[in-house]
A and B are shown apart, each in its own frame.
Chain A
Amino acid sequence: RKEVEQDPGPFNVPEGATVAFNCTYSNSASQSFFWYRQDCRKEPKLLMSVYSSGNEDGRFTAQLNRASQYISLLIRDSKLSDSATYLCVVNKESSGSARQLTFGSGTQLTVLP
């Protein structure tokens, strides 16, 4: 079983739509969670961290359910510029100061005019 699993999509949605992505992780000891965004033929970039209480950043809302080992990302009022691949990322904490991230395979989003 993969450490981080995502629905690969693709999700094709009209401009202005609300879209949600889900992700599950297998390591219950995981401590930190993130969403990264990767544009076509570009490098991944940090979109937002995911906190236990849920958090918002503009049109983006991230939620974490530790009991179910489940992370979600909601995008409201989607824009053409939101078209990208969204990567679910988990920090596999271990002893000391290790900061090793495990990336999901990504969910591809295309926002259509």
Chain B
Amino acid sequence: DAGVIQSPRHEVTEMGQEVTLRCKPISGHDYLFWYRQTMMRGLELLIYFNNNVPIDDSGMPEDRFSAKMPNASFSTLKIQPSEPRDSAVYFCASSSSRGPRGGYTFGSGTRLTVV
């Protein structure tokens, strides 16, 4: 298995632009998580899905952020409009309800810079 695949690896955009981050979870995993990591706040859970259904989006900072999971093999996190304070590394992770608890597999992350 190729693991969790995220794209793009790096994104530099101007303030006000729309940004879309993409994630392909491990095949067969029924949980998908979006995290954001900054030096100041560490790893923060933004939203997670179970069987493509959003379960908890209380970590989404504000209405500028939205996430979708149209099928079991694809999810997007969209920021519109982007702001400099959104600059961070965004990680996608997946896990299986049949696997060991705590066994998240993370993607390599998308490093977002908003200028």
Contact = CB atoms under 8 A, between A and B. Distances in A.
Interface of A: 32-34, 42-46, 49, 87, 89, 91, 97-106
Contacts of B43: 44, 87, 103, 105
Interface residues of B, number: 22
Contact of A49 (B31, B35, B97, B102): B102
A103 B35 CA distance: 10
A45 B102 contact: no
A89 B107 contact: no
A106 B42 contact: yes
Interface of B: 31, 33, 35, 42-43, 45, 48, 50, 55-56, 91, 95, 97, 100-104, 106-109
A32 B100 CA distance: 11
Contacts of B104: 44, 46, 101
B55 A98 contact: yes
